[in-house]
Structure 1
Amino acid sequence: MAIEHDFFGLLESGPDGSIFWSETVEFGDQSVTVDLTAPDENDVAPDALNIAAAMITGLEHLDLRCREAMVGQLGDRTSEVTEYVISQEEALGDDLEDYLTDVSGDTAIDIIKAMRLMSVTILADEHGGTDPFAVLEYALDADSTDDVLLVNLASDASVLSVTSAD
């Protein structure tokens, strides 16, 4: 079986009924890997693919929303974002400024601004559910795949949570 979509083209299912689409999207001055997946193509609503396409084409706006959610968590000393900022400060020490794109004097904000959007995973079968529909992965150091923050979005692009990869 297969699903045809204007943006994604022909999404053919594998032998187990799952679908997978992957593309590298240019975003600002970087390339971002975008994956769309579902374990069973029968669970993918046409609206889910339309929303996924809108998220990909509106990646700049989506990225801004995710960064604003990260900033919003800085006031909570126990949040994953605050813990991430502290861990980056400790791990990088004096080298931290080498990773920052702007040094304003507010290190936490500077770290969030400098983080790179590494990947976007869209779980097309989660449209309208309580589990994340899209997961955006951010890292300060692109070579450090363990030190990342994951922003989980609902299908309406609202932020469900920001978590670490641990």
Structure 2
Amino acid sequence: MAIEHDFFGLLESGPDGSIFWSENVDLGDQNVTVDLTAPDQDDVSPAALDAAASMVSALEEIDRRGRMAMLAEVDDRASEVTEYILMQQATLGDELEDFLVDVSGDPAVDIIRSLQLMSMTILADEHGGEDPFAVLEYALDPDAADDVLLVNLDSRGTVLTVTSAD
């Protein structure tokens, strides 16, 4: 079986009924991998696909929301964002400045500003649910696959949580 959508085209299901769509999207000078997935195409509504298409089309705004959510957690010493920033400072030491796009004197802001949006995964079967509908994956060093921050969004593009990968 398959689902057809104006934005995604024909989404064919696998033998187990799952659907998957993937595309690389330009965001400024970055290339972001966008994946749409669902374990069962019967759980994917047209409204979910419309919401997903809106998020892909508004990737720049979604990225801005994610970074604003990270900045909002910087003052909380127990937040995963703060822990991530401290870990990057400790791990990279003097090499940290090599990863920064701008050095303002505020390391937390500089690190968040310098994070690369690596991917956005849309969990199309979670539309309208309590679990994340989309997950943004950010990394300061794209080669350090384990050192990432994840921004979880609902189907309206509202940030639910910011977590680390571990």
Q: Same fold (TM over 0.5)?
A: yes
Distance in structure 1 (CA, Å) of the matches to 2:26 and 2:103: 25
Q: Note the C-alpha offset of 1:146.
A: 0.4
TM-score relative to the length of structure 2: 0.99
Note the 1:15-164 alignment, pairs <5 A: 15-164=15-164
TM-score relative to the length of structure 1: 0.99
Q: Match for residue 7 of structure 1? A: 7
**SS of aligned partner of 1:146:** coil
Q: Deviations over 1:32-77 (max 9, x none)?
A: 1000000000000101101101100100000000000000000110
Distance in structure 1 (CA, Å) of the matches to 2:101 and 2:31: 17
Aligned AA (1:112): I
Distance in structure 2 (CA, Å) of the matches to 1:13 and 1:100: 41
Distance in structure 1 (CA, Å) of the matches to 2:159 and 2:55: 13
Distance in structure 2 (CA, Å) of the matches to 1:134 and 1:106: 29
Distance in structure 1 (CA, Å) of the matches to 2:45 and 2:121: 17
After TM superposition, the runs of 4+ consecutive aligned structure 1 residues lying more than 3 A away are none
Aligned AA (2:127): H
Q: Deviations over 1:137-157 (max 9, x none)?
A: 000001100000000000011
Distance in structure 2 (CA, Å) of the matches to 1:139 and 1:21: 23
Q: Note the C-alpha offset of 1:30.
A: 1.2
Aligned AA (1:119): S
Distance in structure 1 (CA, Å) of the matches to 2:24 and 2:101: 23
Aligned length: 166
Q: Deviations over 1:71-97 (max 9, x none)?
A: 000011000000000000000000101
**SS of aligned partner of 2:37:** strand
Distance in structure 1 (CA, Å) of the matches to 2:128 and 2:51: 11
Aligned AA (2:128): G
Aligned AA (1:43): D
Structure 2, unaligned stretches of length 5 or more? none
Q: What is the root-mean-square deviation in Å for CA atoms of aligned residues?
A: 0.4
Aligned AA (2:70): M
**Percent sequence identity over aligned pairs:** 70
